[in-house]
Amino acid sequence: MRVLQVAAEVFPQVKTGGLADVAGALPPALAREGADVRLLLPGLPAIADALAGARSVLRVGPRFGAAHVELLHGRLQGSDLPAYVVDAPYLYRRAGNPYLGPDGHDWPDNLQRFALLGWAAAHLAAGELDPAWRPDVLHAHDWHAALACAYVAAHPPTTAGSVFTVHNLAFQGLFPIGDFALLELSQRALWPHGIEFHRQVSFMKAGLLFADRITTVSPTYAREIATPEFGCGLDGVLRDRHHDLRGILNGVDRELWNPAADRWIAARYDATSLAGKAYCKAALQREFGLEPRADAPLFGVVSRLTHQKGLDLLLGALPALLARGGQLAVQGTGDDALEQAFRSAAQQHPQQVALNVGYDEPRAHRLVAGADVIVVPSRFEPCGLTQMYGLRYGTLPLVRRVGGLADTVVDADERALAADRATGFVFEHAQAGALEAALVRAMTLFRDPPRWQAVMRRAMAQEFTWTGAAREYLALYDEAIRSRRETPRRWAMR
């Protein structure tokens, strides 16, 4: 089966969140299952510069405001993944964040930048950009690639099935409705039941409407987004398409995230020999300037500092953590108010709280390896990878029971402890008091080393691999291909 994966970022070249990890890990997992997989990526500087053996496939000419558009093919350095890159310097050759300008606001031409990505994907799927390779299925990831599904549906020669994955429904790719004309789609794609969303153009809605199959990155999140509480205004669309919606849990790259072989951590260890984890904790305390205490439960955070991630709840529970002798190490960036609040806490309690603003991949590994508990108190969480990394490293996750967090962590209540099923700590309500109660339970168990280590070993025994996810995706691709042939979802191009 020939599979085209379409995404705006990929690890290790460009990463702003879990999407990049998925784009970097899923294609090789599919390839190991026998699929012929290629990536399609925008020509962002770090991506274009990492394309080894680049050759020109087709000079497209001017498109979406760019005078020069060319399709390149090569292999991504570091991963050796075969990839197409849409080379459009005017749209993509920009420093910094792939979505935001230096002022912290969206690039004003994001509609054109990501419409081009979707347009290129659809024309590749139709066999018009590279006659030597035509995919059987196109898999578009998140709103940046969602318009590919609309272009496929609008393109009668295209027989490829389409799959759209929602990584985070809260980010929808919304643009002024007056810019719809720039997309070169029929007005029927906009009205009456098209991609218009509250007098805006919604790329996310385009994926939900026009893909042959829809996935999210965990089974619980697939159920949640069909409800008003989590549906971000699109729950009605998702309920209408519930027969085509699946939740497939993300996996963990077991080579990259492996405490027995991680080159970035202070000492290597595994479930049979945990001594190295104590060295990692001591090294993390030194690196973050915390008091070097083995007996202090060390809580870690690797996250965007946002309301969604529930870090304000952690601030509310912080006095209880500190009063009981705990420590907190935070790596992240995001809302100024949250950054300042954690910075203030670090200044007031330098032996117990430390903040590193920004994202650094090696430091993230060291934090996950060195902490005793990894805290993910999200208000909603489509899947979450951080808690899976924690499980892999014996760093017990403390999470809210939502989305993929609910699917991956078993609460250490007395029944689960007795049955040797516990892998972390789970709380129900998005309230500082509920989080505080979970923190207290974690610190209580930490004071009982034999039981704590038993939970650590159970956590490290969990298997969240990309192999299982890849097999589920391949089965879904077959469905999408059959659906395209039997009941094509099409609209006419303008």
Distance CA 203, CA 217 (A): 18
Structure token pair of residue 127:
């066999």
Give the pLDDT confidence of 155-169 residue by residue, as tens digits.
877 889 999 999 999
Give the pLDDT confidence of 289-305 residue by residue, as tens digits.
999 999 999 999 999 99
Sorted by where each begins, the domain ranges of the chain are 2-251+467-486, 275-463
* Average pLDDT of the segment spanning 439-466: 97
For position 490, what pLDDT does the model report? Answer: 57
List the end-to-end C-alpha distance of the chain, in Å, as a whole number: 31
Beta-carbon contacts of 414 under 8 Å, excluding residues fewer than 6 positions away, are none
* Average pLDDT of the segment spanning 21-25: 93
Radius of gyration in angstroms for the set of CA atoms belonging to the chain, rounded to a whole number:
23
The domain made up of 2-251+467-486 has a fold known as Rossmann fold (3.40.50)
* Average pLDDT of the segment spanning 32-57: 96
The architecture (CATH level 2) of 275-463 comes to: 3-Layer(aba) Sandwich (3.40)
Q: DSSP secondary-structure letter at 100?
A: B
pLDDT of 390 higher than 60: yes
Asked if 274 and 377 count as a contact pair (C-beta separation under 8 A), the reply is no
* pTM across the whole model: 0.92
Give the pLDDT confidence of 275-286 residue by residue, as tens digits.
999 999 999 999
Q: Work out the mean pLDDT of the chain and round it to a whole number.
A: 95
Fold match, 2-251+467-486 / 275-463: yes
- Using alpha carbons, select from 121, 218, 120, 101 the residue that is nearest to residue 161: 121
Distance CA 115, CA 180 (A): 11
Confidence of residue 219 (pLDDT cuts 50, 70, 90): very high
Give the pLDDT confidence of 321-369 residue by residue, as tens digits.
999 999 999 999 999 999 999 999 999 999 999 999 998 999 999 999 9
